[in-house]
């Protein structure tokens, strides 16, 4: 590390001395002990209430229960796939409308975005399912699409607006049309800024697929509910939570990892790198001017 880097890294705070380092170490040890104590207390409660008895964990050894969970997981992924693709498409359309120069189109898209963002997603799912008498899967996907699409519309619009105004003006000066400016100049530069927010919203859509069990859609949480409410296995609610929760967490981690991979690939892409500039050569001196 150079002296300039060291100076810049410590410009906003003092380097901790020996006493401060001992204090920080003490805080770290105490925090670790508190967390270990909390984990131990939770494990004690689980063992004390008989959550690890064989009767509660027996159903997961049966092939029928495993097939039920796998079918529920497949239905969850199916609903998420439909909702994510449609949400991205709806968000792009609404964002384009909000960026339009035509006042009527812009106001209409703004009204739709604000309305669907303000509506609870569960209310929209129930409305489509009950009032419109739609099947569970289309009702769930419709509710998720309307809500997440309206949120993504704001993400897309904000991402495009973050690109400097000079980029847009330079593209227009070259004779590009508005569609070409949007597709070839603004969107490619805004993608990297929008990607974390897009993935975060897709994670929300993935978790909201669990609302499908309220309209009898046989997704992952619905399968877990059927197992947890089984009296033959002594109501294994906690074991079901301990099996289902890591799978939901794993799916969200996979989405985040995919976003990180896409961001790194985008940074390595030749389309996002600045062109190499050749070093300037020394000027050639004319005769008699040496």
CATH code of the domain covering residue 241: 1.10.3720.10
Q: How much is the pLDDT for 85?
A: 96
Give the C-alpha separation, 238 to 228, whole Å.
8
Give the C-alpha separation, 129 to 142, whole Å.
9
Residue 5 domain-assigned (yes or no): no
Residue 70 domain-assigned (yes or no): yes
Residue 122 domain-assigned (yes or no): yes
Domain span at 145:
54-268
Provide the pLDDT confidence category of residue 59 given band limits of 50, 70 and 90. Answer: confident
Residue 100 domain-assigned (yes or no): yes
Structural domain count of the chain: 1
Percent of the chain with pLDDT over 90: 41
Q: How much is the pLDDT for 287?
A: 55
The stretch 159-186 carries a mean pLDDT of 77
The stretch 112-126 carries a mean pLDDT of 94
What is the rounded end-to-end Cα distance, in angstroms, of the chain? 43
Is-above-0.85 flag for pTM? no
SS3 2: coil
Provide the pLDDT confidence category of residue 200 given band limits of 50, 70 and 90. Answer: confident
Residue 24 domain-assigned (yes or no): no
> And the tokens for 235?
């109501």
Q: Which of 139, 107, 113 is nearest to 126 (CA)?
A: 139
Q: Which residues of 179-198 are buried (b: 16+ CB within 10 A; e: fewer)?
A: eebbeebbbeebbeebbebb
Residue 68 domain-assigned (yes or no): yes
Residue 31 domain-assigned (yes or no): no
What element of type H or E holds 282? none
């Amino acid at each position: 590390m150079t002296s300039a880097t060291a100076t810049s890294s410590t410009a906003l705070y003092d380097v901790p001395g020996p006493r401060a380092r001992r204090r920080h170490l003490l805080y770290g040890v105490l925090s670790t002990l508190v967390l270990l104590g909390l984990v131990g207390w939770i494990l004690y409660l689980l063992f004390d209430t008989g959550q690890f008895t064989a009767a509660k964990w027996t159903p997961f050894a049966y092939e029928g229960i495993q097939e039920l969970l796998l079918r529920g997981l497949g239905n969850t992924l199916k609903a998420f796939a439909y909702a994510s693709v449609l949400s991205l498409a709806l968000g792009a359309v609404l964002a384009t409308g909000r960026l339009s120069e035509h006042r009527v189109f812009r106001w209409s898209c703004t009204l739709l975005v604000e309305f669907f963002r303000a509506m609870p997603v569960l209310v929209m799912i129930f409305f489509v399912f009950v009032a419109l008498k739609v099947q569970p899967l289309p009702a769930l996907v419709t509710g998720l699409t309307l809500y997440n699409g309206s949120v993504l519309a704001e993400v897309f619009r904000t991402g495009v607006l973050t690109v400097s105004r000079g980029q847009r003006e330079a593209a227009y000066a070259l004779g590009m049309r508005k569609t070409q400016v949007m597709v070839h100049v603004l969107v490619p530069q805004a993608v990297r800024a929008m990607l974390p927010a897009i993935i975060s919203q897709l994670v929300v859509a993935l978790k909201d697929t669990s609302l499908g069990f309220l309209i009898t859609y046989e997704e992952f949480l619905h399968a877990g509910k059927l197992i947890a409410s089984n009296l033959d296995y002594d109501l294994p609610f906690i074991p079901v939570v301990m099996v289902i929760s890591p799978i939901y967490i794993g799916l969200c981690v996979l989405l985040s990892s995919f976003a990180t991979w896409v961001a790194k690939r985008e940074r390595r892409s030749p389309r996002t790198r600045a062109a190499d500039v050749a070093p300037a050569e020394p000027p050639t001196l004319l005769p008699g001017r040496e």
